[in-house]
Amino acid sequence: GPAPAPGEHFGPGTIVLITPDDAVRQAAENIAFANGMAVTLDNKTLIVAESHANRLTAFDIAADGSLANRRVWADLDGYPDGICLDAEGAIWYADVPNKHCVRVREGGEVLQTITVDRGCFACMLGGSDRKTLFILAAEWRGFEHMIGDARTGQVLSIEAPAPGVGWP
């Protein structure tokens, strides 16, 4: 199932690389509940949201897709879920329990916070000029209630200070 049994915890996660010839290999381990991932415009850096470690972690991407030079990109006062990059080098991260999206610089300086009335699960810069921040939000009732009939999801949008770059 999607959640651990009552009283148990999620174990450390891994990042795997799937090559064009369908080979699969582990690229990183001991990831504390990986959620959002983004690759910089130059394809040289992978940034991963580690929700249970309250941080964004960066890796250098080698030509063969392997990851090296693991480092903390930003320690956060929150639980990063979905993330996206902007043209000023900042990252937006969605935060479910804190019901907001936050724009941070490398090192953790908070540039902007957008608070909503429900959990923020993902965010992406899009629109014709990639300057619209789209936020996927829904009420969060815990892992034990992930499957249900509640229809609380919303897509919210707000103008952002810088356009999106990189992937996704």
In the chain, the domains with their CATH numbers are 13-165 (2.120.10.30)
pLDDT at 149 (0 to 100): 72
Query: CA 5, CA 42: separation in Å to the nearest integer?
Result: 41
List CB contacts of 151: < 8 A, sequence separation 6 or more. Answer: none
Tell me which of 152 and 157 has the higher pLDDT: 157
The structure's pTM equals 0.86
Cα dist from 14 to 20, 26, 29, 31, 48, whole Å: 20, 7, 4, 6, 11
Average pLDDT value for the chain: 89
pLDDT at 132 (0 to 100): 98
Q: Is 142 helix (H, G, I), strand (E, B) or coil?
A: coil
Q: Kindly report, residue by residue over 52-87, the tens digit of the pLDDT.
A: 899 999 999 999 999 999 999 999 999 999 999 999
